[in-house]
Each structure stands twice: as C-alpha cells, then as structure tokens.
Amino acid sequence: MKPDRIRDLLEKVKSDSLSIDEAIAALKHFPYEDIGIATIDHHRSLRQGVPEVVFCQNKETEDIIKIVERLRENQQPVLATRVLPQAADELVRRFQDAVFYERGKAVTIGESEIEAGIGNVLVICAGTSDLPVAEEAVITARFMGSNTTQLTDVGVAGIHRLLGRLDTIHAANVIVVVAGMEGALASVVGGLVEVPVIAVPTSVGYGASFGGLSALLTMLNSCSAGVTVVNIDNGFGAGFAAGVINRNICGRRQENEK
C-alpha cells in the first residue's frame, strides 16, 4: 500500500468521512497478506521505497498471476524478473499496461510510484552476449525512478571503445559494469572514476570461465577501490543497488541546494 493511500485513509477517519471499521477493512491485508502460495509484503514500499519485486523463476504461471493481481489490487506498480515467454504473454494479456522486455526477461506493470527521471545510472556492458543481464539492470534502475544510460560492447578486447566514451562515464552518479569471460572490465572502469562501481559477473564464456565463476573471482579481487560485486548474472541486484545509491546522492544534492 502506498504511503499516500494510508495518509488519505487517516485523513478520512479524522474528518469522519470514513468509519474506523471501514478503515480497518481497507487495511485488512496491511502490512502483508498470505494467499497460500505466497505471503505478499505490501509494506515493502514504506520500508524501502520500492514495492515487492516478483522473482518468477521456477514459479507456475498461475501463481505469478495471483501474486501480481494482489499487488495491483493494492495499487502497487509491479516489476517481475526472470519471466519466461509463456508467463509474459499471460501477464500482457491480463494486464493492459504490462510491458514485456524480452531480452531482459522482465515485465513491468503500472507506473512506478517513485519520482521518475532522477540522476544518472550508467550500465556498461562488456559484450553483446552480456546484454540480457545488462538490460535487467537497466529495467530495474528505471523502475526505481533513475535516469539510465547504457554503453554496449565496450569490453577490454578493444579498450579504445571504452576510452572514447569518457564524457558519458564521468557524467554518471553510479556505474554498473556487466562482464563475462575474465571480468576485467570492472577493474578498468573502477580505476577511471570517482563514483561507486557495481560489478556484475555473467555466466558468458568458454569452459574455463566456469559459468561466471572466473569473472566473479576477478571482480572480487579487483585492485580498483570502490568496486563492489553482486552475484553471477544478478542484473536485478545491481540495478536495485544502483537505484538506491543514485536516489540517495540526488537527495543529498537537493538538501545541499536548499
């Protein structure tokens, strides 16, 4: 439930236009709701500023629909991640404002309640093969209200491609670097900037990359200060962290300008 809805309920009770019993009925499933196959956290947006995100991997399509329906009935915008085409088709069919991002395997429904278009989150992708993870990060950061910029296929095999975009890189509040193979790009970017860098290892690579483990270890052992690392292929986690950092940076700037 959005903070504005709670405030509106309290104002109506205060003005006697809504009875206490009616308000209790409206808050019946606050802060969480057990629907059998899931316990939905309607309180998430109050605690974290972002509604609960639906992780769809290994969930049945009908279970996903039930969860999304309850979130929408509580006027929550929805971000669903790791959505398979069958489930995405059903979400788009049932919810008029649903948008499926096929490459990023994500669905958004409804407008984010967060102020849109703040700051700048830059997502840098080492190679085109890393794009699905990078796009998940972009979609997530946008859902959280951040402006996003994306640089694609600027890996270390042709470092001049990255160095030619320094103006874009230095304009970011926070940078997400997505790379497979040996994962060296995060260290290079970390050595060029003064802002937080969130590294995302991907499972892209030949056998000795061990499904992303090689990139993960490279990023964890980065000698560039300011580089932090999320799990393999976790574009959502990186986009979420970047959105939180960006929001806090923009908030501090607004306070300093007052």
pLDDT tens, position by position, 48-105: 778 889 999 999 999 999 999 888 887 788 999 999 999 999 999 999 889 999 999 9
Let me know whether 134 and 212 are in one domain.
yes
217 located within any domain: yes
Let me know whether 128 and 247 are in one domain.
yes
Could you tell me which of 187, 128, 178 has the C-alpha nearest to residue 148?
178
Let me know whether 229 and 198 are in one domain.
yes
Euclidean distance between CA atoms 236 and 45, whole angstroms: 17
Task: Name the one residue in this structure whose structure tokens are 């900037």.
Answer: 193
Residue numbers of the domain that contains 1: 1-30
Decide if pLDDT at 213 tops 70: yes
pLDDT tens, position by position, 91-150: 999 998 899 999 999 999 986 655 567 889 999 999 999 999 999 999 999 998 899 999
Let me know whether 132 and 25 are in one domain.
no
Q: Provide, rounded to the nearest whole percent, the portion of the chain with pLDDT above 70.
A: 90
What is residue 44's predicted lDDT score, i.e. its pLDDT? Answer: 77
Decide if pLDDT at 219 tops 60: yes
Decide if pLDDT at 3 tops 70: no
Residue 126 zone, left/alpha/beta (φ > 0; ψ -120 to 50; rest) = alpha
What is residue 112's predicted lDDT score, i.e. its pLDDT? Answer: 62
Let me know whether 166 and 232 are in one domain.
yes
Let me know whether 92 and 177 are in one domain.
no
What is residue 186's predicted lDDT score, i.e. its pLDDT? Answer: 95
CATH of residue 202's domain is 3.40.50.1970
Residue 25 has which token pair? 């009925």
Residue ending a domain, choose from 85, 109, 133 = 109
Decide if pLDDT at 178 tops 60: yes
What is residue 118's predicted lDDT score, i.e. its pLDDT? Answer: 82
Let me know whether 89 and 210 are in one domain.
no
Residue ending a domain, choose from 59, 84, 109 = 109
Could you tell me which of 185, 192, 195, 190 has the C-alpha nearest to residue 246?
195
What's the number of domains the chain is made of? Answer: 3
